[in-house]
Every structure is written in C-alpha cells, then in structure tokens.
Structure 1
Amino acid sequence: MIPIAPLITSFLREHMPVERGYSLHTCETYAHAFRLLFIFASKRLGIRPSQLCIEQIDVALILAFLAYIEEQRGNSPATRNGRLAAIKAFFHYVEFRVPSALEQARQIHAIPVKRYDKALIQHLTNNEVRAIIDAPDITTRLGIRDRAMLHLCFAGGLRVSELVGLPLENLSLQRTPSIRVLGKGRRERCLPLWKATAADLRAWLAVRGQVPVPELFVNAQGEAMTRAGFEYVLDKHSRTAAKKCASLKGRSVSPHQLRHGCAITMLQATRDIRKVALWLGHADIRTTEIYLRVDPSEKLEAMERVLPLGLRRGRFKAPDALIASLFEPG
C-alpha cells in the first residue's frame, strides 16, 4: 500500500504551481477538492486522512464521492465535473511515479463527465460597465484607484488573479500604452490600452506614492490588492451604479462578468473569434466559442446571408361538401 500524503503534497506544492504554472486560484481550487475527497474517504473507510493510500482511492470511492457532493452538498454538475477534473489531473501525475497504479489510473480517467444544460454566460453590457466605472469618487485617492482597476479589468479582459498580481513594471505608458500579462500556464501576452484606460492609470500612478510591494494596485495600507479586496470594490461600486442603471438593481456582479463583457465587445468589433481568444489568453479556442452563443449578431449575419425558402402560396380547399359546409359563414 502506497501512502497518498507525499504524492498529494508534491502535486499541490511543486507540480501544479512550479512545473505546470497553474495560478494560485487554481491551486487553491484543486486543494479544496482534495480536502473534500479525503474527508469523505476517511469517514467512509474509518481511518484518518493521513493514513489514506493510493489504492483506496478507486473508481467506486470516487463515484460515491461525486454522488455525495451533488446529492448532499448540493453542488452543481459543473462543480462535480471540476472536482473530477482535479482527481484525474492528480492520477495523471501519479501514473509517472507509481507504475503499479497504471490500471487504477486508466479506470479513473474513463469516468465520464456529467452532461448538463449550459446556460448562456452572464456578462455586462457597455452601459452597465460604463455605469460601474463611473461610480467611484475620483476626488479621492481610493476612488481614482478603483476607477483605474475597474477600467483595466474590463478593457484588458483580465482574470482577477492577472489584475491584482500585475506588477507595476509590466505597465508601459509610453507612445503606445500597453501591459504585459502573465496568464494561466505561464502564457504571457501583451495588450494595448485604450487612451481612456491609460489616462485612468496615469491618474492612479500620480497618487499611488511609494509602496513596498511591486504590484500596480495596492490597498489602503499599501499592501498588494487581494482577490477578495477587488471583489469588495466591484460589489461596492456595482451597488452605487445600480442607482442610475436599472439593469444592475438586485444583481450580483462578479469580476468575471467584466471579462465576459470585454469578450463580447471584442467579438462584435473584430468579428474574429481567434482575436478574442488571443486577447483573453485562451489556450484553446473552443473555450472562446461560448461567446458565439451569446452574441446574436453572429446569428443575424448568417440569417441575412441565407435566402429564405421560396414557398408556394395556396388556399385551403375542403375535401368534400360536408366539410366545406363547416367553413360557410353562419
């Protein structure tokens, strides 16, 4: 029996962040998935999590775990598939280190994902984005910072981790303003900035002052802005914007909706899904195709190019006198 503890430790601490370049958020998501799995397995097997062995995490246990998180924890099929993806990634890692677990890994990789109805993504319209970006009080230092953060998050289509982790040195405000973003999988991309976005960033740099951290955006204490900190800022200004923008009332706005809004805007402007994928830093263009489902202009363009069927017009004729009498005016 091979203890699982050393393998999961090296997987989460070395393989994911160092060898594969996964973001901190992804590493935390995977770690939470394994925490749930190990708690479930320890209760089911009657042993402590530290005593678990690779051989005990078999297909039957994993299927029971997936059923548990859906039925008892109330997780959605998407979350269930995400937990399964974490488990499969770990066993792919195990394959190259524990040859005796190859057959076990093969069986786990064969567990199918669960199909479910995929709703259209929730995104922000240009009017909603404008209302949110205009919400901060730019007569204050933090208001200037908030406007610059919100504007850059939308204009760059940035993930939260990319926004809060952006170093000051990766911002260029020279003749052609741009930022260098290190995204998922350590893929770097360079994005030009709109003049209005660059202007908001210059305003922030003018009041940012000397801080001990390299990140572009900092909190009131001069420390690097956190994911939770930006989510608080977005929620605060979304509620303020809702007073003027009716479509935001009672709505929960997430940072990723800013990214989705940018993607839709880029798609409508370029008509090229490949350019949108490059802008967002997607490794697989199939990930970007979700925006084609949202944007109705793509379907309208197709409809305009297809000629409608030339159907022959005619009048209904009753088959006999009895039925014809039913249609005579009374």
Structure 2
Amino acid sequence: MTALASHLAAFLREHLPHERMASPHTCATYAYSFQLLVCFAACRLNVKPCQLEIEQLDAPLVLAFLKHIESERHNSARTRNARLAAVNSFFRFLEYRLPSCLDQSRRIHAIPMKKTDEALIGYLTREEMQALINAPDPRTKFGIRDRAMLHLAFAAGLRVSELISLRLDHLDGLACSSIHVMGKGRRERVLPLWKDTARALRAWLAIRPRDGCPELFPNAAGRAMTRSGFEHILAKHVATAAQVQPSIAKKRVTPHVLRHSCAMHTLQATRDVRKVSLWLGHASLQSTEIYLRADPTEKLEALTAIAPLSLQRGRFQAPDKLIAMLKAVGGSKNYAE
C-alpha cells in the first residue's frame, strides 16, 4: 500500500508548476478538485485524509465521487468533467513513478467524459460595450483605473487571468501603443492597442502610485488585483451601465463576456476567423469556431449565395361541403364503391 499524500504533494507542487508549466490558476483548480476528492474518500472510507492510500482511489470510488458532486453538490457536467480531468492527470503522473498502479490507472482513464450542451456564447453589442466603458467616473482615481481596465480587457480580448497579471514592463513604453501578454499554456503574444485604449492607460499611469506591486492594476490596498476583485468591479459598473442601456440588465456579464465581445466584433469587422484566433491567442482554430456559430452574418451570406428551390404553382380547390360532412359523420372509415 502506498501513501497518497507524498505523491499528491509532488504532483501539485513540482510536476504541475515546474514540469508542466501550468498557471497558478490551473494549480489552484487542481488542488481544489483533490480537496473535494480526498474529503469524499476519507468520509466514505472512515479514515483521516492523511491516511489515505493510492490503492483506495480506485475506479468505483472515483465514479461515486463524480456522482456525488453532480447529485449532492449540484455541479454541472462541465465541472464534473474538469474534476475527472484532474484525476486523470494525476494518475498519468503516477504511471511513471509507481508502475504498480498501471492497471488501476487504466481503469480510471476508461471513465468517460460526460457530453455537455454547447450553448451559444453571450456578448455585448457596441452600444452596450460603450455604456459599460463610460460607466466608471473619470473624476476619481479608481474610476480612471476601472475605465482603463475595462477598455483594455475588451480591446485586447484578455482573459481575466491575463488582465490582472499584466505588469508595467508589459507595456511598450509610455506611449502604450502595444502590450505583451503571457497567455494560456505559456503562449505569448504582442497586441497593438487602439488610440482610445492607449489614452485611457496613459491617464491611469499618470496617477498610478509609483511604489507598491509591479502589476499594472493594483487594488485599493495597493496589492495585485484578484479575479474576484475584478468581478466585483465589473458587476458594479454593469449595474451603472444598465441605467443608460437597459438591455445589459438582461444579460449575464462576466469578465469572459468582455473577451467574447472583442472576438465577435473582430469577426464581424474582419470576416476572418484566423485573425480572431490570432488576436485571442487560441491554440487552434477549433477553439474559435464557437464565434462562427453565434454570428448570424456568415449564415446570411450562405443563405443569399444559394438559390432556393422553386415550388410548382398549383390551383387550390376547396373540398366539397357535402362530402366533408359525410366523412365527418362516418369517421375515418373509407368504403369502397
């Protein structure tokens, strides 16, 4: 029997951040997945979490855990698949360190992912996005910061992790003509900025505190902005923008919706999904196809390009009223002459 704790610690502290070069957000997500799994297994097996052994995490227990998070924690199928992906990654790591668990690992890898519905993405129109950017008060320090954050998040199509991790040295000098983004999967990209975005950034840099954290957008305490902090700021300005543009109140506006909005506006402007993929930093075009499904422009072009089939004209003859009455009285029976 092999203790779980030491191998799990090596996976989370060494393998993921140093060998796989996973982001801090990915490491935190995997750690939380195993926190849920370990607590469930310890309760089910009536042992302390530190006493769990790898052999106890077999396929039936993992299946019971996946059923537990869906039925009792009411997690979605997408979240269930994310928890299973973390478990699969850990057992692939164990295959090289602990060959005796190969059969156990194969059984766990055989657990299928659950199919999920691929809903259309939500995004803001140009008028709604303009109302949101205008929501922060430019007469206050944090209003200038928030306006620069919202403008940059939309113009560059940044993920929230990319936005809050931006540092001062990622800007192209004081002109702010471009930014250097470290994206998902350690993929780097350099993005030029609109003049309005650069102007908003320069306004923030002019009043930004010189000391403190190196991040471009610190919070009120002078420390690096967190994901939840930006979500709170966004929700506050969405409520303000809804007073000017009521249609925003009907939409669920998250930080990722700003990225979706940038992608949709770029697609409608360029009609080139490859440029959208390059701008967003996608690893493949398959990730960008979701925007094609949400954009009606492409469907309209296909509709106008294809000639519709013609229908042959005919004459409509009203049914005889007497025959219709006799059929109604006689029911559905048909009698031969």
Which category describes the TM-score, using the shorter chain as reference length?
over 0.9
SS of 1:35's equivalent in the other structure is helix
In the other structure, the counterpart of 2:26 is 26
Residues 175-214 of structure 1 mapped to structure 2, 5 A cutoff: 177-214=177-214
For residue 139 of structure 1, what is the aligned residue in structure 2?
Answer: 139
Query: How far has the Cα of 1:87 moved from its partner?
Result: 1.1
1:34 is displaced (CA, Å) by: 0.8
Deviation per CA, 1:26-58: give whole Å up to 9, x if none.
221111111111111111111111111221111
Matches within 5 A, 1:1-330: 1-173=1-173, 177-249=177-249, 251-316=251-316
State the AA in 1 paired with 2:71: E
Query: Which stretch has the larger CA shift, 262-271 or 162-171?
Result: 262-271
Check whether the contact 2:16–2:27 (CA below 8 A) recurs between aligned residues. yes
Following TM superposition, by how much is the alpha carbon of 1:118 offset from its aligned partner in structure 2, in angstroms? 2.4
Letter of the structure 1 residue corresponding to residue 272 of structure 2? D
Aligned-pair CA distance for 1:212:
2.4
Give how far 1:325 is off: 9.1
Q: Contact between 2:175 and 2:202, CA under 8 Å: does it hold in 1?
A: no
Q: Give SS of 2:97's match.
A: coil
Alignment match, 2:332: none
Q: Tell me, which stretches of 5 or more residues in structure 1 are unaligned?
A: none
Mapped partners of 1:273, 1:11: distance in 2: 37
State the identity as a percent.
59
State the AA in 1 paired with 2:306.
V
Alignment partner of 1:172: what SS?
coil
CA contact (8 A) 1:2 1:53 kept: yes
Aligned AA (2:253): V
CA contact (8 A) 1:42 1:48 kept: yes
The Cα shift of 1:251 comes to: 4.5
Q: 1:175 to 1:310 in 2, by over 3 A?
A: farther
Q: CA deviation at 1:221?
A: 2.8
- Give the Cα separation in 1 of the matches to 2:320 and 2:314: 18
Distance 1:128 1:173, change over 3 A: farther
Deviation at 1:175, TM superposition (A): 6.9
Residue-pair matches, total:
326
Alpha-carbon separation, structure 2, partners of 1:7 and 1:96 = 12
Q: Which amino acid aligns with 1:102?
A: L
Query: 1:74: how far off?
Result: 0.7
Q: CA deviation at 1:152?
A: 0.4
Listed one character per residue, the Cα deviations across residues 106-128 of structure 1 (whole Å, up to 9, x for unaligned) are 22122111113222122222221
Residue aligned with 2:143, SS: helix
Query: What residue identity is the alignment partner of 2:147?
Result: R
Q: Check conservation: 1:276, 1:288, Cα contact below 8 A.
A: yes
Taking only aligned residues, the RMSD between alpha carbons, in angstroms, comes to 2.1
Deviations 1:173-219 (A, max 9, x none): 56781111011121111111111101100111111131222111112
Report the Cα offset of residue 18 of structure 1: 2.1
Give structure 2 stretches of 5+ with no counterpart: 327-337
Deviations 1:52-90 (A, max 9, x none): 122111111111111111111111111111111111111
Shift of 1:223: 1.9
Looking at structure 1, the residues matched to 170 and 41 of structure 2 have their Cα atoms a distance apart, in angstroms, of: 45
TM-score by length of 2: 0.91
